[in-house]
Amino acid sequence: MNAIIRHSGALFAVLAVALTAGPARATITQQCPLDTDGLDTDGDGNAADDVVCKHMIASDGFVNMADGKLLYVFGFSEILPGEALDMAVMEHTLGAEEPAPTMAFREGQRVYLTVSNAGFMIRPDLFDPHSIHWHGFPNAAPIFDGMPDSTLTVKMDASQPYYYEPIDPGTYMYHCHVEATEHIQMGMVGQLYVRPKQNLLPPGTPLGSFVHRAGQKYAYNDGDGSTRYDIEVPLQLDSMDPDFHDASEGVQPLPFALMDDRYFLINGRGYPDTARRGPIPNGYDGNFSQKIDSQVRARRGQRVLLRLSNLSVTKYFTISIQGIPMHVIGQDAKILRGPSGLDLSYDTNSVMLGAGESADVILDTTGLVPGTYFLYVTNLNFLSNDAEDTGGMMTEVVILG
């Protein structure tokens, strides 16, 4: 609450700008055409539902780290269908979420993504544009790639349309690419993946010697059932430097060269918040800015798909689960197959992920005694919430009987 007092000056500054700049303001808009082409591109039997519209809006906000530290962040939140667009800037200011709302699409959908910019409440001196970079999108063209040097990025109180036809299933990620080091460190990251058409096969369809049954899901169009799973858990690894965030909040020079991440996060939280189910409100204004827990829950015998990605700006992380080996079936949104079909999937006890890398991992829970297992970073000093021990990049894998 004293943060509100602390920032009341900034608040007034924003209001002043808003009042004086009123007539020149652009508006929040969205382009979301109807699906009238008569084609069923996503293969679900309905020719009128292939268009998917998403609307993300950039702003600032606050999150609490697991040790209680309140951290100033930049981030995205989602403008949901039916929201009044003329109210969106007001509603979503200070609405940044860690991570940003997850985007999950189906192969064959046609995605109209709108990115809007609500500006920063706490930093009214900044007029940063924003973008969304669909990290790994195949054959990207600059106009929808979000890379500020070679395309357009959206200014404050304005909106920019993006268009994608997700054709390659897999685990991607997204982030703002404007002043990338700063904006990603500040938290403009989110999860993004594409599910394959193979999920829609009629029950009884043979896939080699495997037979697809109703409701079975796959990570890829594998043709043999090898990537099937029961439970899907996206886990995005990240890390943050509180000094950098505090400097940003305090309008101080940003310590790029001294950047030293001390919070290690899965889906925007450190342990034990990772295993705390449901959204978490922040201690600044009560906004539910950390919506995604990362507790893995599966019944014994189920196959769990972990969609792992890393959007730290400073670190590699090696992830392991005590007692449960991993089967790696995909990397960087590609099934692990050679060009002639060679099966390159492999078993391991840990996966190292660099920033901007992703991996798809299957866990086989057959025969495990029900209980709680732990997924954690083997760079063990990252099992910290800064000065607090037994935290950081760790979460629970709960096997139910």
Smallest separation (angstroms) from other proteins to the CB of 24 = 9
Beta strands in 275-357 (DSSP E): 296-299, 303-310, 317-321, 326-331, 334-335, 346-348, 350-353
Q: Using CA atoms, how far apart are residues 376 and 391, in angstroms rounded to an integer?
A: 10
Q: Using CA atoms, how far apart are residues 38 and 46, in angstroms rounded to an integer?
A: 9
Q: Using CA atoms, how far apart are residues 190 and 102, in angstroms rounded to an integer?
A: 6
At residue 201, φ and ψ (nearest 5 deg) are -60, 145
The nearer residue to other proteins, 290 or 384, going by C-beta atoms, is: 384
The nearer residue to other proteins, 93 or 384, going by C-beta atoms, is: 384
Chain-centre distance of CA 100, in angstroms? Answer: 5
Smallest separation (angstroms) from other proteins to the CB of 130 = 10
* CB contact set of 23 (below 8 Å; sequence gap of 6+): none
Chain-centre distance of CA 56, in angstroms? Answer: 12
Smallest separation (angstroms) from other proteins to the CB of 189 = 11
The nearer residue to other proteins, 289 or 320, going by C-beta atoms, is: 320
The nearer residue to other proteins, 241 or 284, going by C-beta atoms, is: 241
CA distances from 79 to 88, 132, 134 (A): 7, 15, 18
Cβ–Cβ under 8 Å, residues 381 and 387: no
Smallest separation (angstroms) from other proteins to the CB of 98 = 17
| Residue 353 CB neighbour total at 10 angstroms | 20
Smallest separation (angstroms) from other proteins to the CB of 181 = 4
The nearer residue to other proteins, 152 or 211, going by C-beta atoms, is: 152
Smallest separation (angstroms) from other proteins to the CB of 214 = 30
At residue 325, φ and ψ (nearest 5 deg) are -65, 165
Locate 78 and state its tokens.
């989602």
The nearer residue to other proteins, 307 or 315, going by C-beta atoms, is: 315
Reduced to 3 states (helix: H, G, I; strand: E, B; else coil), residue 135 is: strand
Smallest separation (angstroms) from other proteins to the CB of 106 = 15
